[in-house]
């Protein structure tokens, strides 16, 4: 095991952690504010990837296609989320966990077949834009440029979320709604509009995650199932509703998975579940303070 292999694997793990973070940050926001367990979050992520693919195909897989896809796909997913929230979710806010969970699961089933109907079942792939292709060398380790790009985007998203939640009026209302919804209502703020905003923002983040992962993987059915269980575990390990907890546990999961692939490739698939299980057993309430 030389340093270069270890470093590049760590690098890949970290950048994968960034994707996990972007997706699970949306999920944890929805958890924290709406108190809804949104299984459809993985489907929104998948939709983000498929929409990004279609946009880039429309522009002939050219370099501009990717950037446009990165801009438009998350917004498209955000609009879809808004429709879901206003059309369905707002009717079940008073139901039990199980019902909310099953409602979002019904969307998983519907979205899965709709994607199959619209895009077909064959695997799809999208080009990495020229400027982010190839890799660069750092202290002898060869690191892929696209992963470096992800490592830049992740912290930008984290910073943006932090600025929004702690520095803007709207962000403060979101946090207040997470802490005490009734109080927010009493103060004359319409909390259901906050819910719509947060759900749309979560959808945007899921779509962004999907658009970002699209060039690095085969875009296929089943993307939703792969990410959603990870995202759920990340959110719970991090502490429900806590964005920073999600960041920490995303990195733990991403790096843990990457090191698993490096050291014990045969059973790497079980690593994230082992990490999640152990963390939940030793720290059942999550690494950081839950918003609940």
Partner 1 sequence: MSANNSSTLKMPQGKFRAYLGLGLSATGILILLAMPTLISQYYVYLLATVFTTALLATSLNLVLGYGGLLHLHHGVFYGVGAYTVAIIMTKTSWPFAVAVVLGPLVAALIALVIGWFCVRLRGLYFGMLTLALGQLVWAIIYRWNALTNGDNGIHAIPVPEFLTSVNSVYYTTLIILCLSLVILYLISKSPFGLTLLATRDNPMRSESLGIHVRRHRLTAFVIAGFFAGLAGVLFVLVERSVAPSLLSWNKSAEILIMCLMGGLTVFMGPTLGAVILVFLSMFVGLYTEYWLLVLGVLLLILVLFLPQGILGYFIKSNDKKGGV
Query: Contact residues for partner 1 (CB under 8 A)?
Result: 37, 88, 91-92, 95-99, 101-103, 105-110, 112-114, 116-117, 225, 229, 232-233, 236, 240, 266-267, 269-270, 273-274, 276-277, 280-281, 284-285
Enter the tokens of residue 136. Answer: 């660069």
Identity of the residue, 130 or 285, whose beta carbon is nearer to partner 1 in the bound complex: 285
Rounded CA separation 164/171 (Å): 5
**Spatial contact of 19 and 253, defined as CB atoms under 8 Å apart:** no
In whole angstroms, how close is the CB of 160 to partner 1 at the nearest point?
27
Rounded CA separation 102/91 (Å): 14
In whole angstroms, how close is the CB of 156 to partner 1 at the nearest point?
29
In whole angstroms, how close is the CB of 114 to partner 1 at the nearest point?
7
Identity of the residue, 71 or 113, whose beta carbon is nearer to partner 1 in the bound complex: 113
Exposed e or buried b per residue across 153-176, where buried means at least 16 C-beta atoms within 10 angstroms of its C-beta = bbeebbeebeebbeeeeeeebbbb
Tokens 């429900």 map to which residue?
A: 240
Identity of the residue, 114 or 187, whose beta carbon is nearer to partner 1 in the bound complex: 114
In whole angstroms, how close is the CB of 150 to partner 1 at the nearest point?
25
Identity of the residue, 88 or 176, whose beta carbon is nearer to partner 1 in the bound complex: 88
In whole angstroms, how close is the CB of 203 to partner 1 at the nearest point?
18
Rounded CA separation 176/187 (Å): 11
Task: For residue 137, give the nearest of 270, 40, 7 by alpha carbon.
Answer: 7
Identity of the residue, 134 or 277, whose beta carbon is nearer to partner 1 in the bound complex: 277
Rounded CA separation 55/49 (Å): 10
Identity of the residue, 211 or 253, whose beta carbon is nearer to partner 1 in the bound complex: 253
- What values do phi and psi take at 128, rounded to 5? -75, 135
Identity of the residue, 3 or 273, whose beta carbon is nearer to partner 1 in the bound complex: 273
In whole angstroms, how close is the CB of 169 to partner 1 at the nearest point?
30
Identity of the residue, 128 or 253, whose beta carbon is nearer to partner 1 in the bound complex: 253
How far from the centroid of its chain's Cα atoms is residue 44's Cα?
9
In whole angstroms, how close is the CB of 167 to partner 1 at the nearest point?
30
In whole angstroms, how close is the CB of 215 to partner 1 at the nearest point?
27
3-state secondary structure of 135: strand
Task: For residue 217, give the nearest of 132, 152, 127 by alpha carbon.
Answer: 127
Beta strands in the chain (DSSP E): 135-138, 141-144
Which residues are CB-contacts of 52 (< 8 A; sequence separation ≥ 6)? 66, 69, 70, 73, 126, 210, 211, 214
């Amino acid at each position: 095991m030389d340093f270069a292999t270890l470093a590049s694997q760590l690098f890949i793990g970290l950048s994968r952690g960034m994707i996990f973070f972007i997706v699970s940050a949306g999920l944890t926001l929805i958890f924290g504010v709406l108190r809804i367990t949104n299984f459809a979050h993985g489907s929104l992520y998948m939709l983000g990837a498929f929409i990004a693919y279609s946009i880039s195909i429309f522009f002939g897989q050219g370099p501009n296609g990717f950037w446009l896809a990165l801009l438009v796909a998350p917004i498209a997913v955000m609009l879809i989320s808004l429709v879901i929230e206003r059309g369905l979710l707002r009717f079940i806010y008073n139901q039990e966990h199980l019902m909310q969970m099953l409602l979002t699961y019904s969307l998983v089933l519907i979205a899965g077949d709709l994607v199959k109907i619209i895009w077909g079942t064959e695997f799809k792939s999208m080009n990495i834009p020229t400027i982010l292709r190839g890799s660069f060398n750092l202290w002898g380790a060869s690191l892929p440029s696209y992963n470096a790009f992800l490592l830049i985007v992740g912290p930008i998203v984290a910073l943006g979320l932090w600025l929004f939640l702690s520095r803007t009026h709207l962000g403060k209302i979101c946090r207040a709604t997470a802490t005490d919804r009734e109080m927010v209502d009493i103060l004359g703020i319409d909390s259901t509009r906050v819910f719509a905003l947060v759900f749309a923002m979560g959808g945007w983040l899921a779509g962004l995650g999907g658009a970002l992962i699209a060039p690095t993987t085969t875009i296929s059915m089943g993307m939703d199932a792969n990410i959603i269980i990870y995202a759920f575990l990340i959110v719970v390990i991090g502490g429900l509703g806590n964005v920073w907890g999600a960041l920490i546990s995303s990195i733990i999961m991403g790096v843990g998975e990457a090191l698993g692939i490096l050291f014990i490739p045969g059973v790497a698939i079980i690593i994230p579940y082992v990490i999640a299980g152990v963390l939940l057993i030793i720290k059942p309430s999550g690494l950081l303070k839950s918003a609940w």
